[in-house]
Amino acid sequence: MFKGARWSTILLLGVCMVMATTGCRSRGGPGARGAAGRGGPGSDFVIADGMDLLDIQPLGDLRFDEAEFYAGRFEPVYFAFDSSVVEPAERMKVEAIVEEMRRNPGSRVIVAGHTDERGSAAYNLALGERRALAVRAFMTNLGIDGARIQTRSYGEEMPAVMGTGEDVWRLNRRAEFSIAY
């Protein structure tokens, strides 16, 4: 009986350690969500008027053959520090790819989310995914079928510009597009 109690205690301590070190955030700081995550102050989930990332359906096992895709044809969408909000000044970039996809109904796109080097690797992967999902949500709101859009996150692993400082970080906080016809 003592042996079983000891293992359950060790398991409980292990679970507590994992929870304490996985970057769970409560109030304030990067990743905090305001108003119960529905777009209140501090929320980075609001996309556009009335849209929320929590309303997006899961992608499931959708995977595209990446050998067919062309990168660099469209301008990256840039984000503010620790944000996944598609700002009004960046929306015309998303609208340009939406127009291209409307002209080519068989086209598909991969949206890749990126971050700057600040923050943990795990947090940056999650932030990159939120950025890619924000762009995807904006595209689906403009009428593109979500089955034609796949998201990826590279976090801080693929910087557009090497170095440090706001001029560099600003260019690394982005979502990029690869398209296949």
Q: Name the least confident of 23-37, 45-59, 71-85, 129-143.
A: 23-37
Q: Is residue 36 part of a domain?
A: no
Higher pLDDT, 60 or 67: 67
**Is the predicted pLDDT of residue 60 greater than 50, yes or no?**
no
Q: Is residue 162 part of a domain?
A: yes
Say how far apart CA 131 and CA 31 lie, in whole Å. 12
pLDDT over 70 at 52, yes or no? no
Which pLDDT belongs to residue 164? Answer: 95
Mean pLDDT of 39-55: 39
**Res 59 pLDDT > 60:** no
Question: Would residue 26 count as lying in a domain?
Answer: no
Distance CA 178, CA 78 (A): 16
State how many domains the chain has: 1
**C-alpha span between 176 and 130 (Å, rounded):** 13
Q: Would you say residue 11 lies in a domain?
A: no
Asked whether the CA dihedral 34, 36, 39, 45 is positive or negative, the reply is: positive
Using CA atoms, how far apart are residues 95 and 139, in angstroms rounded to an integer? 8
The pLDDT score that the predictor gives to residue 64 is: 60
Q: Are strands 77-78 and 174-180 parallel, antiparallel or unpaired?
A: antiparallel
The CATH number for 158's domain is: 3.30.1330.60
Is 4 a domain residue?
no
Is 59 among the domain residues?
yes
Q: Residue 156: what are its φ and ψ, rounded to 5°?
A: -95, 5
pLDDT at 70: 74
Question: Average pLDDT of 104-115?
Answer: 96
The secondary structure of residue 169, as a DSSP letter, is H
Residues in contact with 124: Cβ distance below 8 Å, sequence separation at least 6, in sequence order: 115, 155, 156
Q: What's the whole-number average pLDDT of the chain?
A: 77
Is pLDDT of 124 > 80? yes
Q: b vs e for 64-74, b when ≥16 Cβ sit within 10 Å of the residue's Cβ?
A: eeeeebeeeeb
Give residue 71's pLDDT: 81
Range of the domain at 130: 51-180
Q: For the segment 27-42, what is each residue's pLDDT rounded down to a tens digit?
A: 333 433 332 333 333 3
Q: Is residue 108 part of a domain?
A: yes
Q: Is the pTM of this model over 0.75?
A: no
Average confidence (pLDDT) over 70-79: 90
Torsion angle, alpha carbons of 155, 158, 164, 168, to 10:
-100
Residue 128 has pLDDT above 80, yes or no: yes
Is 118 part of any domain? yes
Average pLDDT value for residue range 105-120: 96
Long-range Cβ pairs for the range 49-53 (8 Å, 24+): 51/137, 51/138, 51/141, 53/84, 53/130, 53/133, 53/134, 53/137
